Structure 1
């Protein structure tokens, strides 16, 4: 059985390109092409599909707002020219994030990811919260690439002016982003801002006192303005 899909993009050339890519794959069946979010919303109410290729920057209602409005969501692959929205992907549980111009090879990888996900055995009962946490990730621009970073792997985040250094057990990643944005997007029950320049993963804290936190042998300071919240969370 073919996978039904829908394309939503306000750019005619982008719609044409994606429709051509879909047409090259026998397992995909294109059910429609929409020019904006409202048209897409109405289409999905009439005819649900399994896979949605969705642009973000569209007139009146953005692709992200559309995702939030959908009660029943198909699998979603974001297609956009705007890299700065990548960090929102994990929060809205999109399947993949394609940055324009989109090559056919990169398109194939996204479709393969869809099939890989749907071929996994479905749990017979509600998965525990830890399973959802293991799958949570964000995309960050590192040099010219968008790198997927799993949240469970993050040890701490350090602010370096207009950049942040995301430190994982494997390696650090430097990306153009403000630490305040990271604090807003990361789950507050898993991460804690302890200083104007540092966010730490609570589960990776090795030791702490009123003035510092040790994570993977790195001693990080607790800022004066953050001590009250720090003491409350860690019960010092």
Structure 2
């Protein structure tokens, strides 16, 4: 399991350190870094993020204010927060906005790992709970396309491709893909795991539409889609069922 995350800090050295620690941690996947909370807020409105490493004292919009905005959002997925700050007086406020943890600067990689392990355990427990209470299975989904909701039959989807703040849903017997304002992460949560699999930061494939597999690519129709290292183990686990 990979935890998608972003880091926000107006101090370059502190931001670089968090970025370095994230890249050292195998179960974290860094999506972006920001030196101000306003840009980060815009990003979270258009991308599904699991976890935010958030400094508190920043100009214009503080980390605590950003956390309150995220906490107050109605519906949709809300990222969890680990605060990174030099001021321990904010600890109580941090827990009021349901922060997962609180890292006091300067912190070591050991401190960072303890905190992120707590986050990993949280997301693992959440995933197990969702597995034990699965969503009703249907053979279709609805996606927002321009100003309407369009019904998409699951068996017609061949693969899904990330495209800026949108996704392209490629369908069999259709020349042009459907463009929907959502994220690949959100699509991954909507689709049944036994029929669809993420193989790359930019691709989810329909397993039934695989035509051939080479060392690092999957062919679906005329498309050769890369299998990235981050998703290779999961794909190989699926593939091993067919290898004698």
- What TM-score do the two structures reach when normalised by structure 2? 0.49
Cα distance in 2, alignment partners of residues 47 and 75 from structure 1: 14
How many residues are aligned here? 125
Deviation, 1:26, is 1.9
Cα distance in 1, alignment partners of residues 21 and 32 from structure 2: 14
Q: Does 1:116 align with 2:137?
A: no
Deviation, 1:122, is 2.4
Cα distance in 2, alignment partners of residues 13 and 48 from structure 1: 26
Q: Does 1:41 align with 2:64?
A: no
Cα distance in 1, alignment partners of residues 111 and 31 from structure 2: 22
Cα distance in 1, alignment partners of residues 117 and 98 from structure 2: 17
SS at match of 1:119: helix
Deviation, 1:46, is 1.9
Cα distance in 1, alignment partners of residues 11 and 95 from structure 2: 25
Cα distance in 2, alignment partners of residues 59 and 73 from structure 1: 23
Deviation, 1:93, is 0.5
Which residue of structure 2 lines up, in the alignment, with residue 76 of structure 1?
A: 81
Cα distance in 1, alignment partners of residues 16 and 66 from structure 2: 22
C-alpha root-mean-square deviation of aligned residues, in Å? Answer: 1.6
SS at match of 2:129: coil
- 1:41-190 residue pairs with structure 2 within 5 A? 41-70=41-70, 71=73, 72-120=77-125, 121-122=128-129, 124=133
Cα distance in 1, alignment partners of residues 117 and 2 from structure 2: 14
Which residue of structure 2 lines up, in the alignment, with residue 171 of structure 1?
A: none
SS at match of 1:53: strand
For the Cα contact (< 8 Å) 2:7–2:15, is it kept in 1? yes
- What TM-score do the two structures reach when normalised by structure 1? 0.50
Cα distance in 1, alignment partners of residues 64 and 53 from structure 2: 12
For the Cα contact (< 8 Å) 1:67–1:73, is it kept in 2? no
| Deviation readout 1:110-153 (Å, 9 max, x if unpaired) | 1100111122242759xxxxxxxxxxxxxxxxxxxxxxxxxxxx
Q: Does 1:21 align with 2:18?
A: no
SS at match of 2:60: coil
For the Cα contact (< 8 Å) 2:3–2:120, is it kept in 1? no
Q: Does 1:9 align with 2:9?
A: yes
Cα distance in 1, alignment partners of residues 78 and 54 from structure 2: 12
For the Cα contact (< 8 Å) 2:100–2:119, is it kept in 1? yes
